[in-house]
Structure 1
Amino acid sequence: MSSLTVYHQSSPDVPSKLLTHDEDIAATLAEVGVGFERWPVEVSLKPGQSQDEVLGALRPSLDELMVERGYAGVEVLSLSCSRTYQDEPQAEMLEELCAAGAQGHWLAAGRGLFNLHIGEHVFAVLCEKDVLLSLPSGTRYWFDQGAFPHLIVLELRTGSAASCTGDPIASAFPRLEA
C-alpha cells in the first residue's frame, strides 16, 4: 500500500499528516503541483532484470506514457536485494536532487520512498508497484530504495538529469528500512 507522510522541514521526527488512501494522497500532492496516479504494469517483471529487458517488456505502455506526457529520456533502476545503504549508488540517491525538467517516476516492481522537499515541507511518498509520480521542473527530492532494495523504477524526464543541491536535508529524515 502506498502512503504519504508530511513533515515540516524543521521536524523530521514529527509527521504532521499521514495518508494511506490513493485519492487522499493524490489530492494532497496535487495541491503542491505533484501528480500521483496508478499506471498499471501489464507484464511480469523481476527486480534485477537488465535495462534492455525492462524497456523491451514495457515498450508499448512506455511509448504511450512518453508521448502523452512529453518525456524525452528514460533510465531504469532495477535492483534485487544486492545493495545496502553503505553502497555508493544508494548513498548518492540519498542526496537531495533538483529536477532539471519535468520528471515521472514509474514503479514497475517493488517499492521505494520518494521524499519531496517543497517549500518548508517534506512529502515522503511511499510508492508501490503501478504508481506514477509526476514532478514538475525544479522539484527538490531524494529517493530511498531501502536497506535491501528489490524494485524496478523508471525515471522519465523532459530535460537533463537532476542535479545535486548540496543540501544535507535527506540525512535528517526517516529512511525506508525494508
Structure 2
Amino acid sequence: MTLLTVWSTTDPSTPEIQTRDAETIRGILAGVGARFSRWELKELSENPTQDEVLAAYADEIAAVNAAQGYSLVDVVSIVPEDSDAYRQASETARQKFLSEHRHDDDEDRFFARGSGVFYLNVDGKVHAVFCEEGDLLSVPANTTHWFDMGTTPSYVSVRFFHDDDGWVGNFTGSDVATHFATYDELAQVSA
C-alpha cells in the first residue's frame, strides 16, 4: 500500500506525517503541486513488453495525455535477475536517480508493477511517496526531488513527457538525499 512520509529537512530522523490513506496522501501532495491517483491494475505477462503495457493501459494513458498535453510515453521495466550485469546496471541507475535534481518538465510515473520512492524537497519539507503498483504520481516541473528504486529494483513504470528529449535531469549538487530513509528502509514500514 502507498506510504507517504513527511520530514522537516532539518530533522530526517523524525517523521512529521506518515500515512497510507490515499485521500490524505492526495491532499498533502496537492498542497505542494503534485498530483496523485490510483489506476485499476491490468493483467500483464511475467515480463511485459512496452507495447503490451501501453496497450493494457491505453485508455488511462490517453486520458492523461489529453489532460496534460504529453506527446511521448514510454515504459521502463526492471526485472531482477541473478547476474553481475543486472547488479551493476541497477546500481548505476539507482545512483543516478538518488542525486537530487529537477526537470524543466513534469515527471509523471505510473507503476504497473513493483514499487519505488519519490522524494519531493519542497518548502523545508521532504515528502517521500512510496509508490506501489497502481499508483500514478506527477512531480511538478522544477520541483527538487530524487528517486530510489532500492537495492534490488523491480518495477514496470509508464513515463510521460511533453517533448522527445525524454528524461533530462538538472542536478543540484546537494547531498540532502543521503540524510533520509532509503527505499529499503521505507519498504520495511510499508510491509
Normalising by the smaller structure, the TM-score range is 0.7 to 0.9
Which residue of 2 is the match for residue 176 of structure 1?
183
**Which residue does the alignment assign to 2:32?**
32
CA RMSD of aligned residues (A): 2.1
Residue in 1 that maps onto 2:66: 67
Deviations 1:65-112 (A, max 9, x none): 222221122332211224558721111011112021122111111111
Partner of 1:151: 155
Letter in 2 for 1:8: S
Higher helix share: 2
2:121 corresponds to 1:122: no
CA shift for structure 1 position 56: 4.1
Match of 1:165 in 2: 172
How far, CA to CA, are the matches of 1:146 and 1:103 in structure 2?
A: 19
Q: Secondary structure at the match of 2:150?
A: coil
Runs of 4+ in 1 over 6 A off after TM superposition: none
Instruction: Answer yes or no: is 1:10 the counterpart of 2:10.
Output: yes
Q: Answer yes or no: is the 8 Å Cα contact 1:97–1:140 preserved in 2.
A: yes
**Aligned counterpart, 2:93:** 89
Under a length normalisation based on structure 1, what TM-score does the superposition of the two structures give? 0.88
CA offset digits 1:110-151 (Å, max 9, x no partner) = 111111111211000011111111122111111111111111
- What letter is aligned with 1:156? F
Task: Report the residue type matching 1:54 in the other structure.
Answer: V
TM (norm. structure 2) is 0.82
Unpaired segments ≥5 residues, structure 1: none
Q: 1:20–1:102: structure 2 CA closer, same or farther, 3 Å change rule?
A: same
How much does 1:45 deviate?
4.7
Task: Note if contact 1:84-1:90 (Cα within 8 Å) is conserved in structure 2.
Answer: no
Q: Between Structure 1 and Structure 2, which shows a larger proportion of strand residues?
A: 1
Gaps of 5+ in 2: none
Alpha-carbon shift at residue 169 of structure 1 (Å): 1.3
Q: What is the aligned partner in structure 2 of residue 137 from structure 1? A: 141
* Correspondence 1:44-83 to 2 at 5 A: 44-46=44-46, 48-82=47-81, 83=86
Number of aligned positions between the proteins? 177
The AA in structure 2 aligned to 1:20 is R
Q: What SS does the corresponding residue of 2:159 show, helix, strand or coil? A: strand
